[in-house]
């Protein structure tokens, strides 16, 4: 059925289009960053075909290694990039060349949250994620486009709105992480368990879209409330 095809390949296609557009935008600013984006997505797409959690949609002791690997692959890229962004003058200088509207616009790919809703309707994700993180992703995606337009027109109110947007974006991730962690630890009982977040076709979301979105959200938030933390000593951040 076409619905199965869309669900099976949709997250990969959305990620590929996003990575290609971002890489194309970065090409004139830094070919290294552009190629990094392509390679990052390529690795995420390849690893995303592997199931970290086998068996039925319930947690098992055998999932311990998969859970550790899933967490590492999902969050290590964001941690490394953010540390590098705060500590490296060269990277900070590069980041300042990217206007806030462009950063916001990258998050239009959060329309992929629709696949979380679809997964819930298929009985593969609990409502705590499918009906919370899914709609929040769609809200973030839609508002990112609106805010990008406002930021590009240099409206003063866009700074405060961008900060609020970043907080909502990060809260979306925090909720999903807490639910996933608590479910795995047995603190809360979910049926089905959110195991599909670590299996294809949704895994590519966790490996590419999630860490990239965390990085973008943090940068946008810092620019709004404490721009000096990321500004290069040579120039102010682009708006």
Asked if the structure places residue 128 within a domain, the reply is yes
Question: For 122-180, how does the pLDDT look when each residue is reduced to its tens digit (9 = 90+)?
Answer: 999 999 999 999 999 999 999 999 999 988 887 665 788 999 999 999 999 999 999 99
In a domain, 235, yes or no: no
Rounded (to 5) percent helix, strand, coil in the chain: 75, 0, 25
Is 203 inside any structural domain?
Answer: yes
Backbone angles phi, psi at 50, to 5 degrees: -100, 140
Between 155 and 28, name the one with better pLDDT.
Answer: 28
Q: Rounded CA gap, 239 and 151, in Å?
A: 7
Is 1's pLDDT higher than 80?
A: no
Domain extent, residue 193, equals 2-229
Residue 234 included in any domain: no
Closest CA to 63 of 187, 235, 193: 193
Confidence (pLDDT) at 3: 82
Specify if 238 maps to a domain.
Answer: no
> Is 236 among the domain residues?
no
pTM: 0.93
How many independent structural domains does the chain possess? 1
CA atoms of 211 and 177, how far apart (whole Å): 12
């Amino acid at each position: 059925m076409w619905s199965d095809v869309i669900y099976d390949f949709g997250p990969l296609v959305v990620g590929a289009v996003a990575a290609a557009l971002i890489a194309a935008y970065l090409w004139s600013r830094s070919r290294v960053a552009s190629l990094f984006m392509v390679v990052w997505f390529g690795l995420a797409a390849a690893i995303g075909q592997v199931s970290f959690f086998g068996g039925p949609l319930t947690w098992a002791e055998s999932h311990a290694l998969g859970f550790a690997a899933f967490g590492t692959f999902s969050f290590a890229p964001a941690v490394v990039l953010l540390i590098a962004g705060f500590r490296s003058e060269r990277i900070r200088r590069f980041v300042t060349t990217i206007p806030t509207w462009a950063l916001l616009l990258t998050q239009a790919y959060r329309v992929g949250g629709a696949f979380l809703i679809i997964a819930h309707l298929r009985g593969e994700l609990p409502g705590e994620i499918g009906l919370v993180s899914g709609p929040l992703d769609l809200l973030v995606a839609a508002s990112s486009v609106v805010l990008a337009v406002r930021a590009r027109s240099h409206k003063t109110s866009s700074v405060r709105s961008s900060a609020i947007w970043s907080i909502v974006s990060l809260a979306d991730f925090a909720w999903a992480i807490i639910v996933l962690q608590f479910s795995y630890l047995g603190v809360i009982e979910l049926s089905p368990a959110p195991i599909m977040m670590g299996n294809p076709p949704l895994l590519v979301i966790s490996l590419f879209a999630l860490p990239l979105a965390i990085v973008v959200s943090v940068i946008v938030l810092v620019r709004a409330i404490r721009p000096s933390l990321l500004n290069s000593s040579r120039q102010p951040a682009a708006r």
